[in-house]
Structure 1
Amino acid sequence: MGAIRRSPSSEREFDVIVVGAGHAGTEAAVAAARTGASVAIITSALESIGQMSCNPAIGGVAKSTVVREVDALGGIMGRATDLAMLQFRMLNRSKGPAVWAPRAQCDRGLYRRAVRTLLETQPRLETIQGTVARLSLEGDTVTGVETIEGRRFGARTVVITTGTFLRGRIHIGTTTSVSGGRAGESATTHLAEQLENFGFVVERFKTGTPPRIDGRSVDFSSLAVQASEIDDFDYSWSHFWAEPRKTPNATRHPAQLPCWITYLEDAGKQIIQENIKLSAMYGGAIASRGPRYCPSVEDKVVKFPLAARHQIFLEPEGHDTSELYVNGLSTSLPADVQLDILHSIEGLQDVRMTRAGYAIEYDYYPPTQLDSSLQTKAVDGLFFAGQINGTTGYEEAAGQGLIAGLNAGRRAQDLEPVVLGRETSYIGVLVDDLVTRGVDEPYRLFTSRSEFRLTVRQDNALRRLSEIAQSLQLYSAAESAVAELRLENEDAALRLAREASVRPEQVNDLLAANESSPIPHSVKLIELARRPELNLADLFEVVGAEGISHDAILTAELEIKYAGYFDRERLQADKLKRLGDFRLSSEIPYDDFTSLSFEARQKLGSLKPSTLAQASRVPGVSPSDLQNLVLEVERRRENKKVVAE
């Protein structure tokens, strides 16, 4: 590793500085530290490290897989969730277990404290309180940062993870508009202006948050209760715990709490319709686009006028408060109108509003200005992650933070970047979508964005990614041992299913209980495990198998039941990987390749994809363009070889 460049009059020198300590920033800092880099994470308030600015929940469809992938690569979101989880649900239960999606409601305060504790277990990582005002540069290379307090820190690489703070502006109604990154915290202006002056294209997005209410003023007697399912699934978000989730005397997480379900009905919808012009989003105060799949309540009423009602979840914020998060009521209407809407909802007729909902506008930088390592193309050593790239969601931020931090740490040590293919992970899909296709609305992950959603699942994240983590030396010795044991368990479960036989008298009662055809003679367990009405855990119990973990059995069962589908996906993944192995230099003169269409030359020249696989996903590039591109590149390589000889 080269010597760290010393910035003039810098107080300290680091390999990596991370600006911001939300979900992207904390994962970036940990990932960089795990590469062996010296890391500082700088945030305006150390008390807000790991703050859940919006809904205190982790996971859900596609998002839960990202959490598990981040964990498999050494991240901390899964561990913090395990320590702070106060409610657990398994979504998508009406479908097969291959697409089940866990979701956890967290104690907001416990989550924040868990994240900070996990950061401080990293010996090469330091936390610093301050507000970064500007970057230090030498030419087009970043060399450090300076805070508004006048402190200077040198760095070989910098990761910016400022969330909604870059020129953030909070709106409540059409008359209340204040500068802020989130309620009660100042926006970041100087850094935003400097980035724009560098020539980065900057756009604006918006997002919103609902009101919070005092749970002591809610009439729960008329509401449906949604209890935690953690004991039904005995689920852990992290793969790396040495001890079980539950012992006779304690659980890893706090005591579980319920959520409650109610509805916005005609009375509330009428209030919104009558006051729609007072909404910041509909009254002209905001012109930016918001997340399509997390709409404001105003959007719901305007865009779905025939919907009879809209579901509302009342979600606990933590054990140390009676405050509830009103999920489904995100709004930028005036505070008095919000209170009227709340009072129209069943169970909330006498509710007290503790905090008004609001909308927030903020700067983001279209992510096609990044390469696949999440380094900016304009400034060497500068990386972006999280909402600054036009995404929405804690999990999407964490996935980007991990990749940016990992590559910033490696860049600081003169090592090659790490790029995850789409076939490896949802994180790979996320990053590839951002840098190749860009965004025109806040980007959110869905299973439909992946071509490999059966083989890229939350239960097999360790199987998919631990080899990469091991090769990059991201694990401690203890973590390596846990990962190896888990994979050995999966192998043992598959081996037992293939090798063990069961006799009719052992299993026919179980088959009858599950309305499955009896067997006339001994068969291998794997033959019965393929039946959709049977589960592998019950079959293992019949033959007296012990010592194999529940999680390993579930993964083995999915591999058995869906083997044909998985095999087809893996063939597609191998094909995509081969395309990814065809590298494209950033120096390719696309304008000279006249065999490509004009549109393809323009877009490829602008985006400069690093592989043929990435080029294939650029809008406007046809299959014939790809064939001609291969021929042009091969011809160019051959000509260079001839000249060299």
Structure 2
Amino acid sequence: MLTKKLPPLQSFLVLVSRQASHLAQQHYDVIVVGGGHAGTEAAAAAARVGAQTLLVSQKIHTIGALSCNPSLGGVGKGQLVKEVDALDGLCGRAGDWAGIHFSILNRSKGPAVWGPRAQLDRQRYREFIQSELLSTPRLTVLEGSVEELLVTKPNPEDPGCHRVTGIRLVNGSHPITASSVVLTTGTFLSGSLFMGQSTSPGGRIGDAPFSAGLSQTLRERLGLRIGRLRTGTPPRIVKDSVDLSLAVLHPADSNPTPFSFLNTHTRCKPEEQLPCHLTHTTPGVERVVRESLHLNCHIQQDTKGPRYCPSIESRVLRFPGRRHQVWLEPEGMTSELLYPQGLSMTMPPDMQLRLIREIPAMHRAEIHTPGYGVQYDFVCPTQLSPALQVKSTQGLFLAGQINGTTGYEEAAAQGLWAGVNAARSALSMPAVALSRTESYIGVLIDDLVSRGVTEPYRMFTSRAEFRASLRPDNADLRLTLKGFEEVGCVSSLRYQEAVRVRDSLQDALAALQTLTLSSHSWKKKLPDMGMSETKSTTLTGMDVLQYKDVSFEKLASAFPEFLSPYMEFSERLKIEAVYRPHCDLQRKEILRIQKEENMSLPHDIDYFSLPVSLSKEVREILDRVRPSTLGAATRLQGITPAAIVNLLHYVHHTRQNERRMHRNQSHQKEKREEELCARKTSVLQ
């Protein structure tokens, strides 16, 4: 899958210009506005489902561009990439093709919270995405800026509901009609750029924002609630001006793990990967930040920014005196630039240079492009259905940062699902949804549409209640078969591979389960397995594989006739064995929470005195809102999955005590009545 030859970018542009010459009055099933991570996934997914799709981007050559950090994946985010790939999306395969530094984050913890991550070559990633779009049947690409959405007047029978009918471009050409429209505007919806005290319109440096008419249509004509968010990016540093010997070397994994389930290796050979380097801020950095605050209008704004990827100014103000990590990451195999992750800033360029040079490894650094901030409009996502369709406008779908999220991976996941449902709507097929219990994409969408956002939303493994079963290694088993059989967005090639993997894993697990020996026999076969049992017990191969010192390779060498055919899946089988008990318990928790979602919570409950593990923040939220049911509590912003489980256990325990007390009281009452009756009988006699 990694041997394909990418077509020259010039060929892509020529073909697109030919396609654009006859678009003026055509009708499409789906129109996707925006060519970022959400837009490219949405367009490709809609076309895979079977819809005639048009992707409209302001600049063709920036389709698939990595606007900020040239990386993909991470803790929580890597799970999203694996799930997008399992549904036949683009970003996983693109990451494998463009990766130059692969690593698994959180290795010291369990595989459920491992974070597959790759540093990327900007140019190769963009070329791969454009190549995939070029070869996708039923997909056309057009360069242009959207002036407004075309919508019908409200239905007299339902005055609050509109219907989208297409778009009109800024150049005043004829409208382009469609049954569904997907907006993936990123930071370009009424976007403004900030650097020092200067402000200019834009969604990214060098690129203009979308027309004000588009935001006006959403706000005034459709009556949607619009908010404002902000983000930023660090300056790009000339690599040769940095003394990397003064930073800590962080090599890539010696055995790179690909994102895509279709790939057994990455394009980049282990010895060809580029290292990253780690350094830290100094007191001089904090001094420059404080000296430049009066010159920094972006940091003085009340607009909410990303809590988990803040600017260096925000970090200094929130955590004075603390050293902050700065990762020096390459931007490509042949790039002359470094990306200093952790140094997003919006101060004037001369102050940026002063700040950079306060870090020893960059004491002579030169800035190629200054950092800057972006503020942009977003639509409050509680106005969307789980299909990511605007509730009040039939056929209008939103995905990416327009929904209040941050990050490539969150955008790609939303884009894929919005594209799927936009296509199904256009083809008169019912909408489909993903549950929180089966995917991180389901967690992401449910959080957005049921809880909303007060700051840019970022995915973490802690947001998923059932992360033990939502692992990166099993995303194909969870989603690929459903994507083919129920959703229609997965190719037959990928489906056949997923079926092969599923059947092989089931056969291997059955073989392990039938491999039964006494503990004494296992000790003889595997003397270094670390078994501590003193009495003889019967154990299966699955039981033994749960031991830390037992790998599938060791088992296969001891029982080659049973297990050697399954060596291809050795790591997956080890993970499956380790997590089998946890997943069994988790499935019970899933059924229990689903069953108890309508369980009422006492109105007079004192959340501050509950004898359970709840954070102060969670107690304050519960006390302020006082949800009436457990299901209502799960949908509150800031309530963690662990808090819901603890709350469920507390209410159950309390009710059991109440029932026990009630039974005791009833028993005592019956006993008193019997004694009274006995005394009356004695007197009468």
TM-score surpassing 0.5? yes
SS at match of 2:442: helix
2:187 to 143, 153, 164: 164
- Alpha-carbon deviation of 1:547? 4.0
Q: 1:591 matched to which residue of 2?
A: none
What is the alpha-carbon distance in structure 1 between the residues aligned to residue 484 and residue 441 of structure 2?
18
**One-letter identity of the residue aligned with 2:235:** P
Going from structure 1 to structure 2, the CA distance change for 1:153 and 1:493 (only over 3 Å counts) comes to same
Query: Residue by residue, what CA displacement relative to the aligned partner does 1:199-253 show, whole Å, maximum 9, x if unpaired?
Result: 1111100001111101011111222111110x33x41211124xx326xxx7589
Going from structure 1 to structure 2, the CA distance change for 1:111 and 1:137 (only over 3 Å counts) comes to same
Q: Does 1:245 align with 2:268?
A: no
Q: Show structure 1 runs of 5+ residues with no match.
A: 1-8, 583-595, 598-611, 625-645
Q: Does 1:534 align with 2:550?
A: yes
Q: 2:238 matched to which residue of 1?
A: 214
Q: 1:557 matched to which residue of 2?
A: 574
- Greater alpha carbon shift after TM alignment, 211-220 vs 466-475: 466-475
Q: Any conservation in 2 of the 1:93–1:100 contact (CA below 8 Å)?
A: yes
Query: Residue by residue, what CA displacement relative to the aligned partner does 1:41-88 show, whole Å, maximum 9, x if unpaired?
Result: 100111111111111111111111111111111211111111111101
What is the alpha-carbon distance in structure 1 between the residues aligned to residue 204 and residue 524 of structure 2?
60
Query: Residue by residue, what CA displacement relative to the aligned partner does 1:439-465 show, whole Å, maximum 9, x if unpaired?
Result: 111111111111111111111111111
Q: Any conservation in 2 of the 1:506–1:542 contact (CA below 8 Å)?
A: no
Going from structure 1 to structure 2, the CA distance change for 1:384 and 1:115 (only over 3 Å counts) comes to same
Q: 2:284 matched to which residue of 1?
A: 267
2:590 to 543, 565, 573: 573
Query: Residue by residue, what CA displacement relative to the aligned partner does 1:520-557 show, whole Å, maximum 9, x if unpaired?
Result: 8996422321213322233223333334355x333322
**One-letter identity of the residue aligned with 2:247:** L
Q: 1:548 matched to which residue of 2?
A: 566
Q: 2:293 matched to which residue of 1?
A: 276
SS at match of 1:371: coil
The equivalences for 1:304-323 within 5 A come to 304-307=319-322, 309-323=323-337
Q: Any conservation in 2 of the 1:62–1:446 contact (CA below 8 Å)?
A: yes
Q: Does 1:195 align with 2:218?
A: yes
How much is the aligned-residue C-alpha RMSD, in angstroms? 2.9
Q: Does 1:479 align with 2:497?
A: no
Q: 1:177 matched to which residue of 2?
A: 199
- Alpha-carbon deviation of 1:394? 0.7
**One-letter identity of the residue aligned with 1:454:** A
Q: 1:302 matched to which residue of 2?
A: 317
The equivalences for 1:210-609 within 5 A come to 210-229=234-253, 231-232=254-255, 234-241=256-263, 244-245=264-265, 251=268, 255-282=272-299, 284=300, 286-307=301-322, 309-471=323-485, 472-500=487-515, 511=526, 524-544=540-560, 545-548=563-566, 550=568, 552-575=569-592
**One-letter identity of the residue aligned with 1:312:** V
Q: 1:186 matched to which residue of 2?
A: 208
Query: Residue by residue, what CA displacement relative to the aligned partner does 1:449-497 show, whole Å, maximum 9, x if unpaired?
Result: 1111111111111111122112133222221221112212322331232
| Higher helix proportion (structure 1 or 2) | 2
- Alpha-carbon deviation of 1:254? 10
- Greater alpha carbon shift after TM alignment, 19-28 vs 188-197: 188-197
TM-score normalised over the length of structure 2: 0.79
Q: Any conservation in 2 of the 1:85–1:253 contact (CA below 8 Å)?
A: no
What is the alpha-carbon distance in structure 1 between the residues aligned to residue 596 and residue 193 of structure 2?
45
Q: Which has the larger radius of gyration?
A: 2
SS at match of 2:142: strand
SS at match of 2:187: coil
SS at match of 1:55: coil
Q: Any conservation in 2 of the 1:84–1:253 contact (CA below 8 Å)?
A: no
1:132 to 142, 146, 153: 146
- Alpha-carbon deviation of 1:321? 1.3
SS at match of 1:103: strand
Query: Residue by residue, what CA displacement relative to the aligned partner does 1:299-318 show, whole Å, maximum 9, x if unpaired?
Result: 111111142x1111011111
What is the alpha-carbon distance in structure 2 between the residues aligned to residue 207 and residue 449 of structure 1?
22
Going from structure 1 to structure 2, the CA distance change for 1:513 and 1:411 (only over 3 Å counts) comes to same
- Alpha-carbon deviation of 1:197? 1.5
Q: Any conservation in 2 of the 1:203–1:366 contact (CA below 8 Å)?
A: yes
- Alpha-carbon deviation of 1:579? 8.0
SS at match of 2:219: helix
SS at match of 2:177: strand
Q: Percent identity?
A: 38
What is the alpha-carbon distance in structure 1 between the residues aligned to residue 570 and residue 36 of structure 2?
35
What is the alpha-carbon distance in structure 1 between the residues aligned to residue 364 and residue 24 of structure 2?
56
Going from structure 1 to structure 2, the CA distance change for 1:255 and 1:153 (only over 3 Å counts) comes to farther
What is the alpha-carbon distance in structure 1 between the residues aligned to residue 245 and residue 271 of structure 2?
25
- Alpha-carbon deviation of 1:571? 1.9
Q: Show structure 2 runs of 5+ residues with no match.
A: 1-22, 154-161, 605-628, 649-685
What is the alpha-carbon distance in structure 2 between the residues aligned to residue 323 and residue 267 of structure 1?
24
Query: Residue by residue, what CA displacement relative to the aligned partner does 1:591-612 show, whole Å, maximum 9, x if unpaired?
Result: xxxxx99xxxxxxxxxxxxxx9
What is the alpha-carbon distance in structure 2 between the residues aligned to residue 549 and residue 426 of structure 1?
29
Q: 2:19 matched to which residue of 1?
A: none
SS at match of 2:393: coil
**One-letter identity of the residue aligned with 2:443:** V
- Alpha-carbon deviation of 1:196? 1.4
Going from structure 1 to structure 2, the CA distance change for 1:379 and 1:114 (only over 3 Å counts) comes to same
Q: Does 1:150 align with 2:172?
A: yes
What is the alpha-carbon distance in structure 2 between the residues aligned to residue 393 and residue 613 of structure 1?
31
Q: Any conservation in 2 of the 1:57–1:104 contact (CA below 8 Å)?
A: yes
- Alpha-carbon deviation of 1:498? 1.6
- Alpha-carbon deviation of 1:22? 0.5
Going from structure 1 to structure 2, the CA distance change for 1:619 and 1:216 (only over 3 Å counts) comes to closer
Query: Residue by residue, what CA displacement relative to the aligned partner does 1:407-434 show, whole Å, maximum 9, x if unpaired?
Result: 0000001111011111011110111111
Query: Residue by residue, what CA displacement relative to the aligned partner does 1:546-602 show, whole Å, maximum 9, x if unpaired?
Result: 34355x33332223223222112112323456689x9xxxxxxxxxxxxx99xxxxx
What is the alpha-carbon distance in structure 2 between the residues aligned to residue 29 and residue 451 of structure 1?
31
**One-letter identity of the residue aligned with 1:161:** T
Q: Any conservation in 1 of the 2:437–2:590 contact (CA below 8 Å)?
A: yes
**One-letter identity of the residue aligned with 1:499:** T
TM-score normalised over the length of structure 1: 0.84
